[in-house]
């Protein structure tokens, strides 16, 4: 390692996963290099804040390299991507993601950027600003050790919002909340999505009133996420167009919305 914190080797290993940054995130020795965005320095400040509280479930930031890529300390552990392996589909893994998110929210509470910089509006909550939310906690953005979540990655869409909004996003993607037909496309097995929503609520530690509200907020985030993907597809971004086609296009989003509305009472009952 050189005095400036860079590795003595420049061999770049492409890391799997991701959509918008697919193929552009690499490991160089002890570090990860990934494309920066207008919010990267702000996000690094958030990382330093939460790590200073003792929460180590986010990457340790190093800075922005001269080539414009952000440099982070590599987080050791296991990651998963479609088709998802059995170990990441367990209730234990799911509960640990929810517990990790609760820890992040507690650590991020009260964070205020020193320069008042803005956040990404792409997936941001339009409700109350309680904490900084990740807004994209999917299995691919989590690092595990021995089947337990230890770190959350990829905060490109972080923004202030309701804690419950972030929990709903997590549930949508990690339960997952999808029709059995559509979940199978991504390699999910035959999981009981009703009991797994309860696992998320228990793991996060939601109170009774929050559980009642969660089902409504899940419907919100489904609409927000669908609109996000549509915007990217309309702009002709290749990776999103490919994902859109693989998922089944507009029909898939409509199918999921109808399925969730039809099963709403079962979700309410599962969370009671």
**Among 45, 73, 101, residue at a domain's last position:** 73
Percent residues over pLDDT 90 in the chain: 76
156 and 32, same structural domain?
Answer: no
- Whichever domain contains 260, its CATH number is 3.90.1200.10
Q: What's residue 129's pLDDT?
A: 87
Number of structural domains, the chain? 2
91 and 199, same structural domain?
Answer: yes
**Residue 80 domain-assigned (yes or no):** no
Which structural domain range is residue 142 located in? 86-271
Q: What's residue 127's pLDDT?
A: 78
65 and 41, same structural domain?
Answer: yes
67-70 long-range contacts, CB within 8 A, separation 24+ = 68/35, 68/36, 69/33, 69/34, 69/35, 69/36, 70/33, 70/34, 70/35, 70/36, 70/40, 70/44
Span 46-66, average pLDDT? 97
Q: What's residue 128's pLDDT?
A: 82
**Residue 228 domain-assigned (yes or no):** yes
**Residue 128 domain-assigned (yes or no):** yes
240 and 204, same structural domain?
Answer: yes
**pLDDT greater than 90 at residue 115:** no
91 and 57, same structural domain?
Answer: no
Q: Are 58 and 104 in contact (CB under 8 A)?
A: yes
**Residue 4 domain-assigned (yes or no):** no
186 and 66, same structural domain?
Answer: no
Provide the mean pLDDT of the chain: 91
171 and 58, same structural domain?
Answer: no
**Among 25, 48, 73, residue at a domain's last position:** 73
Report the range of poorest mean pLDDT among 11-20, 54-63, 77-86. 11-20
Instruction: Write the CB contacts of 242 (distance below 8 Å, at least 6 apart in sequence).
Output: none
**Residue 212 domain-assigned (yes or no):** yes
215 and 129, same structural domain?
Answer: yes
Q: What's residue 117's pLDDT?
A: 63
69 and 30, same structural domain?
Answer: yes
Q: What's residue 2's pLDDT?
A: 45
Report the range of poorest mean pLDDT among 65-74, 132-141, 239-248. 239-248
Instruction: Write the CB contacts of 200 (distance below 8 Å, at least 6 apart in sequence).
Output: 94, 95, 98, 167, 170, 171, 174, 175
**pLDDT greater than 90 at residue 126:** no
Q: What's residue 97's pLDDT?
A: 98
**Residue 66 domain-assigned (yes or no):** yes
- The H or E element containing residue 45 is helix 40-52
**Residue 78 domain-assigned (yes or no):** no
260 and 221, same structural domain?
Answer: yes
90 and 206, same structural domain?
Answer: yes
Span 209-233, average pLDDT? 94
Report the range of poorest mean pLDDT among 9-13, 71-75, 219-223. 9-13
218 and 109, same structural domain?
Answer: yes
Kindly report, residue by residue over 149-179, the tens digit of the pLDDT: 999 999 999 999 999 999 999 999 999 999 9
**Residue 79 domain-assigned (yes or no):** no
Span 251-260, average pLDDT? 93
Dihedral sign from CA coordinates of 131, 136, 139, 143: negative
């Amino acid at each position: 390692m050189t005095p400036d914190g860079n590795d003595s080797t420049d061999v770049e290993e492409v890391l799997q996963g991701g959509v918008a940054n697919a193929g552009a995130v690499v490991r160089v020795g002890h570090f990860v290099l990934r494309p920066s965005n207008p919010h990267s320095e702000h996000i690094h400040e958030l990382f330093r804040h939460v790590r200073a509280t003792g929460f180590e479930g986010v990457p340790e930031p190093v800075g922005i390299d001269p080539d414009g890529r952000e440099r982070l300390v590599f987080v050791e552990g296991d990651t998963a991507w479609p088709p998802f392996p059995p170990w990441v589909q367990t209730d234990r893994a799911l509960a640990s993601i929810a517990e990790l998110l609760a820890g992040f929210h507690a650590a991020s509470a009260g964070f205020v950027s020193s320069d008042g910089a803005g956040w990404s509006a792409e997936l941001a909550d339009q409700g109350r600003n309680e904490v900084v939310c990740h807004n994209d906690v999917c299995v691919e953005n989590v690092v595990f050790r021995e089947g337990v979540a230890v770190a959350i990655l990829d905060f490109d869409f972080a923004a202030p919002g309701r804690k419950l909004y972030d929990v709903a996003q997590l549930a949508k993607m990690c339960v997952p909340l999808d029709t059995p037909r559509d979940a199978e496309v991504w390699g999910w097995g035959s999981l009981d999505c009703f009991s797994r929503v309860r696992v998320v609520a228990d793991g996060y530690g939601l109170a009774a009133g929050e559980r009642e509200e969660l089902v409504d907020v899940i419907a919100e985030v489904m609409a927000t996420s669908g609109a996000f993907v549509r915007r990217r597809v309309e702009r002709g971004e290749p990776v999103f167009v490919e994902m859109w086609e693989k998922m089944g296009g507009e029909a898939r989003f409509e199918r999921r919305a109808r399925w969730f509305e039809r099963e709403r009472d079962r979700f309410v009952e599962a969370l009671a």
